[in-house]
Chain A
Amino acid sequence: MAVNYIPETLEEALLLRKAEGAVPLAGGTDIMVQHRRAQGIAPDPGFPVMVISGLKELKGIRKLEDGSVEIMALTTAAEIAASDIVPWHVRKAASGMGAIALRNTATIGGNIGNASPKGDLPQPLILLDAEVVLASFDGERRMLLDEFILGSKKTALQSNEIIKSVIIPPHDFTYSYYRKIGMRKANAISKLSFSAACTVKDGIISDFRASSGAAGPKVIRSREAESMIVRRPVEELAEIVPDFLTAWDHAISPHAMPMYRRHTTARMLTYFLEAIVNGAEPGIIE
């Protein structure tokens, strides 16, 4: 059995991380499940764990001066879903994560650190160009979440770092879209998830983004495909759509149920783009 710790301050946690390589456990909804053993005995991950759920420094959601929103790593899915300053895509994803008990326990830091391709929060966060703040005893660094998550269950987290917070830059989307297709209507892991957003100014598409979850080893965004649409007039959108869909299809790489995931993604994208072409009321496309 490895030794476990309960640090009382962030500084202590960072020291433990550096000195002992202790892995942070917050809600425990991944680690406890992944390392479960037989009936009646405690999980044993085989590495030292520090329970950081008491660290006040890592809790809360706040708006920064530049309009960004910072969500501290220990913020639970339920808190995110209930926040009025967190962007809609992220709230929506948080509200559909697992069951109520899990949402009250699971944290944004854990969901990102676990880096499951089916994780609920990374997908909309990557759509929003969120950055992750990584703290170590020696300092802090920031990087795009899209670059932090390297692949299925793989991240760029250094052995002395912990995830401190996530920062979501401001945006002013004209249209937003989010879907999660779970294995059932509630308390389900994603079969597929998808977000899209578009900003239209004076008839010109000034921003267009899409992201797919559970459609490859990590969340997919294709800047190449997005750039086909950005800075083009809305009138031209209809004729771009076929090439755009082809570019998106090349970007996604589902292992399982490839036909379903490809076709469904294409249909959702088409639906969203058609709404824009047809001049839908600004807001959320249902």
Chain B
Amino acid sequence: MPINCIDDKVVRVDAEAKARGEAMYVSDYSFPDMLYARMIRSDIPRGTIDSISVPQLPDGYYFISAKDIPEGGKNELWMIAKDWRCFADGDVRYVGETIGLLVGPDRNMLDYLAGRVKISYTEQEPAVTIDDALSLKGGPIVGEDNVLCSLFCEKGEKMQSIMDRADSVFTETIETGFQEHVHLETNGALITIEDGRYVIYVSAQCPFYVRKSIAGLLGLNPEDIVIRQTTTGGAFGGKEHFPDVLAGPLLVAESVIRKPIKLIFTREEDMLYSVKRHPSKTVFRTALDKEGNILGIEGTIYYNCGAYLSASYVVLQRGVFHANGVYDFPATYLKGIGVATNTFPSDAFRGFGAPQTLFAIETHLDHIAHKFGFDPAEYKARYFIRKGGETVTNGHIIEEVKLPEMMKKIADASDYYRKAREYGIGSGKGIGMSFYNHGGAFTGNGEQAIIKAHARLVKTGDRVRIEVGSTEMGQGFQTALRKIVANALGLDMDHVDYDNPDTSLVPDSGPTAASRSTMIVGKIAEDCALEMKERWAEGDFSVEKEYQHPEGHPWNQETFRGDAYLGYGWGAACVEVEVDRLTNEVRTTGIWTCHDIGHAIDELIVHGQVNGGVIQSLGYASMEKMENRKGHFKQSSMSDYVIPTSMDFPHQEWFLEDNPYQWGPQGAKGMGELVFNGADAAYVDAVERALGITVTKIPIPPEDIEEALENA
């Protein structure tokens, strides 16, 4: 049966191989004479390295470190900046910083040797928290003030004059914690040499990022290195830049050893020594009139970036641009400050900086509503931004905003108004509502100025091969893109191929990140397909196209003014809870969401993303606690860092608001991150109402609810 209708639900193209265990993950690959690598890392957060003592190595074993970077190579990984070192050299800046790689044929021997590498340090006092960084604990790590990156944007009347005439100013600090990605497949990479070129097999979101990041280690060009993405078992942003941290040392090792080398992290390594979501602290000062109307909001947003910049500046920008939520306030002044600490660098994680500030503004508005005796959801709805409304960056919302319709859907389905009234405050039962959005694709003109994505279709007989750098990481993109292309061509999906990318074979479509794949790459591929359909009779040929920026989206990356995003996904969530008064255990009795993702390419995939994103957000709010004590992460396994099971959030009702997007393929917009961005605030709203407490920090496991009760 040809599948030509975009609305047909299909079985995911990768489902069967994964269910049967046939999919090849990087740890499944093996080559003749393959060696294994074991990372030797810093076990202190800050200090100078006095000496590295490596035991006598048996034949065929190597210890690779900064000294092995050849002349002409630089000890740096090129992410956004080039500050993250491939190997620590002279000093260490966080626990888990790579110092060296032990390489050899037998993993038992590597384990034995790893226990006998002794590194002596002169320790310095580490800065671990945002407050530590701001107070320059132990002296600055970066510059004179520990500020790695900062920006501000303002809209409307000057904040000082608003504050002066306000009836009251409500000041509040809202904090969010670390979050670990817990992708099912841990990080791993394998390097070899094929036909004289370095080839890296890697579990990664962005193969082209990897080669760009590491080429400079050997003074090579990115094209000199081939990256082959292996089937990737989950990523959530944790495999956006982080694979560089594995691939870099492997490349240096390969230049010395010239045999296949494999490096696979254990779960414990992946927990303790990988990037996390940025912890945040947002200080709002909100100017109010006598009736509780908002005159203006000043927000200062601090993100804990860890020891290196990695993607933090971009994450921080997104945080600042989402700090007004889905609202149109008369005036805003938002400042973002990314601070350096001696923790593992924070990096991309589903939502990319937006979830922290969205949680902060939602929760802050709930608290204002309670203060003035309004229903929080109704209070927030007063400020919904509309088409044409001015954004915090003085740009405008270009699409219809259907939040009122979405709110009605979940309010009706959940019976919100009756329950909110009947439960009241402190009854043990509560219902809460949150609203959120996510700017699609790269910030500002990044797609046009930096990424310049390409996609290519190759026709051979009656088959068409998609050649893009975008990756499947479990989100369903191989299915979605095949469906888009098959639909545009009028072909059966089975006649369209799309393999894991190999950077020597496919054009660079930009990273698989920023909810941009369907919206941006899907559109280019669709345009290629439409042209291919026109020329179908020409025989075997290929069509390649570059991204075309839609007209009329002014953006100035220097001043952060203009349209920060081409379009937004929108969301509304309602969560109902019942709290056990003996134990503070929260039972979630209902979850209702509505999302506007333009037009859905495949409702089955969307359903999976909604369920997963919402549960991940609820885990972030309720139980996912990653603590850092003196620079060391405390949680190291899946039994002490818990993520929700289906028992915790058993049932969700979900709706979509169909709102086709003008520039997306088949009307689709970004979706993968949006669905993470807001259920946390609805959950906290519900818990606050159930217990009559005020929560200003997530996660809130039962012991933290106890504290809030104590303070209530």
Contacts and interface: CB of A to CB of B under 8 A. Distances in A.
Interface of A: 1, 36-41, 179, 181, 183-189, 191-192, 257, 259-261, 263-264, 267-268, 271
Central interface residue in A40, A179, A261, by most chain B CB within 10 Å: A40
Given A257-B703, A259-B706, A181 B107 contact: no
20 contacts: A1-B108, A38-B110, A39-B264, A40-B36, A40-B107, A40-B264, A41-B107, A181-B585, A184-B648, A186-B648, A188-B639, A189-B639, A191-B701, A260-B703, A263-B706, A264-B584, A264-B706, A267-B582, A268-B582, A268-B583
A259 B709 CA distance: 11
Given A41-B108, A267-B583, 11 more contacts: A37-B111, A40-B264, A179-B583, A184-B642, A189-B640, A191-B701, A259-B703, A260-B584, A260-B702, A264-B583, A264-B706
A38 B111 CA distance: 7
- What 10 A-B pairs come out closest when comparing CB atoms? A260-B703, A185-B647, A186-B647, A257-B703, A260-B706, A183-B642, A267-B582, A39-B264, A41-B107, A185-B648
B707 interface: yes
Contacts of A39: 27, 107, 264-266
Nearest to A259: B706
B448 to A, nearest CB: 42
Interface in B302-351: none
A259 B711 CA distance: 12
Interface string B230-273: 00000000000000000000000000000000001110000000
Contact of A183 (B110, B581, B584, B623): B623
Central interface residue in B265, B585, B707, by most chain A CB within 10 Å: B585
A188 B648 CA distance: 11
Contacts of A183: 623, 640, 642, 701
B232 to A, nearest CB: 17
A12 B131 CA distance: 61
Interface in B594-651: 623, 639-640, 642, 644-645, 647-648
Contact of A181 (B110, B639, B644, B702): B702
A184 B647 contact: yes
A8 to B, nearest CB: 29
A1 B106 CA distance: 14
A192 B701 CA distance: 13
A279 to B, nearest CB: 20
B38 interface: yes
B710 interface: yes
Contacts of B645: 184-187
A264 B107 contact: no
Contacts of A187: 645
A37 B388 CA distance: 58
Nearest to A41: B107
Contacts of B264: 39-40
A38 B647 contact: no
A38 B268 CA distance: 9
A38 B107 contact: yes
A264 B645 CA distance: 24
Nearest to A186: B647
A189 B264 CA distance: 27
B642 A188 contact: yes
Interface string B569-592: 000000000000111110000000
B184 to A, nearest CB: 15
B582 A264 contact: yes
A209 to B, nearest CB: 19
B303 to A, nearest CB: 27
Nearest to B587: A185
Interface in B637-675: 639-640, 642, 644-645, 647-648
A185 B583 CA distance: 13
A8 B21 CA distance: 35
A192 B623 CA distance: 15
Interface in B166-210: none
Contacts of A261: 703
A268 B111 CA distance: 47
B640 A181 contact: no
Interface in B23-63: 27, 36, 38
Central interface residue in B266, B583, B647, by most chain A CB within 10 Å: B583
A40 B710 CA distance: 48
Interface in B675-712: 701-703, 706-707, 710
A36 to B, nearest CB: 8
Nearest to A189: B639
A252 to B, nearest CB: 15
A38 B706 contact: no
A56 B107 CA distance: 36
Nearest to B266: A39
A267 B582 CA distance: 6
Nearest to B106: A41
Contacts of A38: 38, 107, 110-111, 114, 266
Given A259-B706, A259-B710, A41 B584 contact: no
A35 B302 CA distance: 40
Contacts of A263: 706
Interface in B423-446: none
Contacts of A192: 583
Contacts of B583: 179, 181, 192, 264, 267-268
A20 to B, nearest CB: 22
Contacts of B702: 181, 191, 260, 264
A191 B706 CA distance: 13
Contacts of B111: 37-38, 41
Contacts of A188: 639, 642
Nearest to B704: A260
Contact of A267 (B581, B639, B647): B581
A41 B38 CA distance: 12
B519 to A, nearest CB: 34
A271 B582 CA distance: 8
A65 B110 CA distance: 57
Contacts of B266: 36, 38-39
A261 to B, nearest CB: 8
B647 to A, nearest CB: 4
A261 B647 CA distance: 23
Contacts of A186: 645, 647-648
A263 B710 CA distance: 10
B623 A184 contact: yes
A267 B584 CA distance: 11
Contacts of B36: 40
Central interface residue in B27, B582, B584, by most chain A CB within 10 Å: B582
